[in-house]
Chains A and B, each alone.
Chain A
């Protein structure tokens, strides 16, 4: 079983559309994250949830809205997609908010046309 799984793996869409990326972890971890990796391969944190509570919210446009229905799931909804949103989005989890050992998913490559 995949520890951190995210779907879809690829997402191609038009500007202005709304899309969602789902993430699930079966590790029993308390903390989950969304990271964005741009074309230059810089990996930046976007959000972090601990037990369904938002604890980190970086300077991300409010078109991006994370939702955590339970501690095993952290979904990312993006409204009004823009060309600059094209990137690889990684979901990750850790035992708790202080644990630096993160487990990453395989990523969702988002292409906005």
Chain B
């Protein structure tokens, strides 16, 4: 199974760019990298997905190096409302998404 490793927590301030890196050394050739965001008392919400290089949408950017052994979720100019847990997922074995421990991001004024 492709296991992911993320920092347990990160702190930032409003207006700053936040980069959360995820390690997935055993990623399989056909695995995509998917990131979810979870606010307290809510279910996870899909943010972005990529396979290689860079993907950008209205919420975030995802940077994936050529070896795909890691990925970085970039949140531009965070606000207080970006305080949440961010999950990096790569494991789609047996058709199930495996959530790790996630990174708890705290954005302060």
Are A and B a genuine interacting pair, yes or no?
A: yes
Interface size class of B (residues with CB under 8 A): 20 to 34
Interface size class of A (residues with CB under 8 A): 20 to 34
- B41–A107 touching, CB < 8 Å: yes
Q: In the docked arrangement, what's the CA distance between A70 and B53, Å?
A: 40
B89 beta carbon closer than 8 Å to chain A: yes
Pick the residue among A44, A92, A100, A101 that contacts B43 (CB under 8 A).
A92
Given contacts A41-B85, A41-B102, A42-B101, contact A102 B46 (CB under 8 A): yes
Closest residue of chain A to B36, judged by CB? A102
Given contacts A42-B101, A56-B94, A56-B96, contact A103 B46 (CB under 8 A): yes
**Chain B 87-106 interface residues, beta-carbon cutoff 8 Å to A:** 87, 89, 92, 94-99, 101-102
